[in-house]
Amino acid sequence: MTDLQKTPADAASAPAPAGDPFLSVRDLRIHFDTDDGLVRSVDGVSFDLHKGRTLGIVGESGSGKSVTSLGIMGLHRSKRARISGEIRLNGEDLISAGPDRVRQLRGRELAMIFQDPLTAMHPYYTVGQQIVEAYRVHHPQATKKQARTRAVEMLDRVGIPQPDRRVDDYPHQFSGGMRQRAMIAMALVNDPSLLIADEPTTALDVTVQAQILDLIRDLQEEFGSAVIIITHDLGVVAELADDILVMYGGKCIERGPAETLFDAPEHPYTWGLLGSMPRLDRELQDRLVPVKGTPPSLINVPTGCAFHPRCPYAALTGGRSDSEVPVLAEAAPGHHAACHLPAAERHRIFAEEIAPRL
């Protein structure tokens, strides 16, 4: 029996949290050595996340969202990966901690729903065996039978029909969305304190998506977990996130509370993002309006503001856009943006040119 009836708790109006953040990321850099040169996938990202809160990360494909989250999970093993900066979980630095320590934390303290279901699921083991294994690593006292019962229960909670039968299926016997749900079941089996969900609902239809979002909210309510949700579905972040971080070219270019980010976005890239999405709550447009141009190369990152080759306003900054990297600065309370346009100018452009089209 699937419980779809819980009404979502409204976390948006919760007051900004006090005390130490559960997760604190400072100046995180993750670069890869490749034959073509050094790929600066993540290049100086910082943020804090408190228990019980949800951070949404949005941004262009290839902007470093997944690399950031894999970094937090300690999953960049390759010798070609160069990682610097700080990732503190509950005060403990994960970058300097050994791989054994991170493995210990993974699954219980830290869990991730991967964008790619196939990295998380092994083709030669049944879905059930894999969830059981994930559970028993952190519950060594549990019997096989208890673990299996728990696996079936989790499959039921993510809405797999006849979970007691399908628990013995192999991943290839599941549909794309079912595989994604099985992976979600695996990530949630140990009630993690920090859940990173990388595109958790991309393969799911909206009714199941709503159910998964409820499940994440439940986890949060019951265990006070912190959640990072990475998605390009702005509807999903609007539903779930308290704060939103926008990435472009390996950097955070805007960060703020969900409401102001949607109502009063500060950065020209964010304007482009909001303007390019088709919306059911609006009249049908003849043609979508994408951000023009192509994503930046992360090997030869454009000088100055990485967005400048595509930015319609780059000419308004007296030459600074292509020569000087803009830093994140507070534009409104708790709301930061990295853009050389003076705030007043940005607000005028937004009000006159952008808002009417959104």
Partner 1 sequence: MTDTQTTSIPSPAPASDREPLLKVTGLTRHFPIRSGLMRRQTGAVRAVDGIDFTVNAGETLGVVGESGCGKSTMGRLVTRLDEPTAGKIEFEGTDITHLGVGAMRPMRRDIQMIFQDPYSSLNPRHTVGTIVSAPFKLQGVQPEGGVKKAVQELLELCGLSPEHYNRYPHEFSGGQRQRIGIARALALKPKMIVADEPVSALDVSIQAQVVNLLDDLQQELGLTYLIIAHDLSVVRHVSDRVAVMYLGKVVEIADRDSLYRSPMHPYTNALMSAVPVPDPRRRQRAGRERILLTGDVPSPINPPSGCRFRTRCWKAQDICSSQEPPLVALKTGHQVACHFPENAPSGNAPAETAS
Scan residues 21-50 and list those touching partner 1 (CB under 8 A): 34, 36, 39
Based on the shown chain and the rule CB under 6 A, indicate whether residue 321 belongs to the binding site for ligand SF4: yes
Q: How far apart are the first and last CA of the chain?
A: 40
216 Cβ contact list (under 8 Å, min separation 6): 195, 197, 200, 227, 229, 240
| Contact partner, 305, from Mg ion, ligand SF4, ligand ATP, none, Cβ < 5-8 Å per class | ligand SF4
For the beta sheet containing 81-89, the strands, ordered from the edge strand earlier in sequence to the opposite edge, are 37-49, 23-34, 81-89, 92-93
Q: Which of 117, 177, 192, 304 binds ligand ATP (CB under 6 A)?
A: 177
Question: Does position 225 bind ligand SF4 by CB under 6 A?
Answer: no
User: Considering CB distances under 5 to 8 angstroms, the limit depending on partner class, which of Mg ion, ligand ATP, partner 1, none binds residue 100?
Assistant: none
Shortest Å, Cβ 29 to ligand SF4: 20
Count H helices and E strands in the chain, helices first.
Answer: 12, 12
- What's the closest the beta carbon of residue 287 comes to ligand SF4, in angstroms? 23
> Binding of partner 1 at residue 81 (CB under 8 A)?
no
Pick one of partner 1, ligand SF4, Mg ion, none as the site partner of residue 339 (Cβ within 5 to 8 A by kind).
ligand SF4
Q: Could you tell me the two tokens for 143?
A: 């019997």
Q: Show the binding pattern over residues 17-56: x = contacts Mg ion (CB under 5 A), - = does not.
A: ----------------------------------------
Burial of 255 (0-12, 13-18, 19+ CB in 10 A): buried
CB 234 within 8 A of CB 275: no
3-state secondary structure of 223: helix
Supply 2's token pair: 């699937």
Check binding of 224 to Mg ion (CB under 5 A).
no
Q: What is the dihedral of CA 131, 134, 138, 143, to 10 degrees?
A: 50
Burial of 16 (0-12, 13-18, 19+ CB in 10 A): exposed
The only residue of 183, 236, 261, 298 in contact with ligand ATP, by rule CB under 6 A: 298
Contact letters (x/-) for partner 1, 243-272, by CB under 8 A? Answer: ---------------xx--xx--------x
How far is CA 119 from each of CA 99, 116, 123, 257, rounded to the nearest angstrom?
19, 6, 10, 32
Q: Which is nearer to ligand ATP, 42 or 154 (CB)?
A: 42
Q: Which of 326, 355, 343 is nearest to 264 (CA)?
A: 355
CA distance 96 to 111: 19
Pick between residue 64 and residue 326 the one whose CB is nearest to ligand SF4: 326
Nearer to ligand ATP among residue 170 and residue 223 (C-beta): 170
Candidate list 20, 38, 161, 351; residue touching partner 1; CB under 8 A: 161
Binding to Mg ion (CB under 5 A): which residues in 66-95? 66
Question: What is the longest distance spanned by two Cα atoms in the chain?
Answer: 69
Minimal distance in Å, beta carbon 341 to Mg ion?
A: 29
Which segment (57-65, 88-96, 106-114, 320-328) binds ligand ATP by CB under 6 A? 57-65
The stretch near ligand SF4 (CB under 6 A) out of 48-56, 111-119, 277-285, 310-318 is 310-318
Residues that bind Mg ion (CB under 5 A): 66, 115, 176
Q: Which residues bind ligand ATP (CB under 6 A)?
A: 32, 34, 39, 41, 59, 61-67, 115, 173-178, 203, 298
